[in-house]
Chain A
């Protein structure tokens, strides 16, 4: 009887709630309702996908990474190069981008298994910089600092052409986001996801109850890399352009911020953060285009000083601060 009720309560958590359906319906209706904002909806979808990929390693597995843009950029460049030199079909290009990022993630996961937070931070940061350096120096392939131009995408599934207003692109990105979201939702609520969270909370204890820590970390990192690669591929496919900007450090920092705004360890956190972040960026850069960086910095400092978990719950601001935060 005990096991049954435990099972029931676990299943209860993973059930799809009506609000989620409403949210996704709204998301898919948005490009039609406000056609003029289709471009930014497309961007939000891509950034949201990127953010939930980081959530897999940061929120669920507890690895602080400053170089997640490496996978984003690699996926983007792979998809763009594939479209330019081999065939312009977006779906195949997406698969190529994901495959490239997965491969890199698998190799790179060897580097995050050992060491402290600082070591991991350095290694992930270094990886991002190496890839940026590579893309910069291999200019015969990537166009170097000028970026890769002349990427022409074919119609999606041979039917839907990319249009200038970005509606097709928005639907394309939203669909890919939905597919990965459902997939990751399934993964994080499976026993596998529970073991990842156990590793995050107490690595030693996880090891002693028989969770294969290293192989789980590898798996989570590779999965996150694959999803980040997909986001990168979407980015270059919908803009038709790949540049060094994909690998930039501020991209890794931005995605951390996005995830933190929405809340870590919660897949909707990435999506919510992406919406807030992009709208804020749109708004602030229309006022002060050049100094957007200052405001984002200020926001980060205030966010941390107030406390990340309290910012999204304004009613706790006036209460007494919680003690014993570790």
Chain B
């Protein structure tokens, strides 16, 4: 039972890293970006290609995945996304679905539609077991690694958001774009860097998650719903909301699949709909000023 909880936490942490960029950009620009998973897929494929074709070690690949996805994000933000911010939601949805379709088809074209594998280094492959039978806790080392990395990132993000100058600029822009711009904050630059970092985090998440979630060209479509659930349930105004939502989702999903495999993803979706009917603005929202 503890093992399931542990796996759920690892899964949830991973989802959080994948989705946090989406939460921030959605809160910041009120932009419904369904193409977020494409950046995660980019990160995953960068890792796979570097490891398989060039033999780069796994740990070096992770920052490269982050950088690659962040660059891609910055480029796309500057060229394609920016004109979209003031369009109606329908346009944004159509636009980002279009991007997802293009990403899926081009990866399929260049790299094939088969599932990609990542060969983990030996020291991440083991498994440690603690305790006796009913309360046995089996921890895969890789999952432990994921939790450690994600926890460190979460703390770092929280620090940047609450303690640094950039964080306060970001929060100011989220709260009210026009007033922030009036105070001399370069909102466009804040947007650009936030989008890039968010995409980069998604790329890192994709690289980390390639082993756990699987990686094939339909990745952005398969996990789009999960990212959106995290954001919709967690709310977009803080990062603790999405974190809790991601953990909840991860544990519910792993436990659901383990105990009632027949119902599969059914539980997660029903839970989401129930929560959204109950609290349409998300579970963990602070009272908005506007």
Contacts and interface: CB of A to CB of B under 8 A. Distances in A.
Instruction: Label chain A's interface by main secondary structure.
Output: helix
Size category of the A interface is 35 or more
A110 B277 contact: yes
A130 B270 CA distance: 7
Contacts of A298: 98, 102
A23 interface: no
Contacts of B264: 133, 136-137
- If over half of B's interface residues share one DSSP class (helix, strand or loop), that class is named, otherwise mixed; here it is helix
B262 interface: yes
Contacts of B265: 129, 133
A256 B32 contact: no
A175 B119 CA distance: 58
Contacts of B88: 326
Interface string A227-262: 000000000000000000000010001001100100
B83 A123 contact: no
A134 B32 CA distance: 28
Contact of B32 (A121, A293, A300): A121
B263 A119 contact: no
Given A117-B32, A119-B276, A137-B266, A297 B232 contact: no
Contacts of A299: 98
A304 interface: yes
Nearest to B265: A133
B87 interface: yes
Interface string B230-259: 011000000000000000000000000000
A257 B106 CA distance: 20
A123 B228 CA distance: 11
A291 B91 contact: no
A228 B264 CA distance: 27
Contact of B83 (A118, A292, A305, A308): A305
A130 B269 contact: yes
Contacts of A301: 80, 95, 98-99, 102
Contacts of B91: 304, 308
Contact of A300 (B86, B94, B106): B94
A129 B93 contact: no
B108 A291 contact: yes
Contacts of A129: 225, 265, 269
Interface string B164-180: 00000000000000000
Contacts of B87: 304, 325
A111 B94 contact: no
A297 B98 contact: yes
A315 interface: no
B221 A249 contact: yes
B120 interface: no
A26 interface: no
Interface in A119-162: 119, 121-123, 125-127, 129-130, 133-134, 136-137
Contact of A116 (B92, B229, B280): B280
Interface string B77-105: 00010011011111111110111111111
A299 B102 CA distance: 10
A290 interface: yes
A294 B94 contact: no
Contact of B95 (A290, A292, A300): A300
Interface of B: 26, 32, 80, 83-84, 86-95, 97-106, 108-109, 221, 225, 228-229, 231-232, 262-266, 269-270, 272-273, 276-277, 280-281
The 10 closest A-B pairs by CB, nearest first: A300-B98, A115-B280, A297-B101, A294-B105, A297-B102, A301-B98, A304-B95, A293-B105, A117-B89, A297-B98
8 contacts: A111-B273, A117-B32, A119-B232, A126-B270, A129-B265, A133-B269, A297-B104, A305-B95
Interface of A: 58, 64, 66, 110-111, 114-119, 121-123, 125-127, 129-130, 133-134, 136-137, 249, 253, 256-257, 260, 264, 290-294, 296-301, 303-305, 308, 325-326
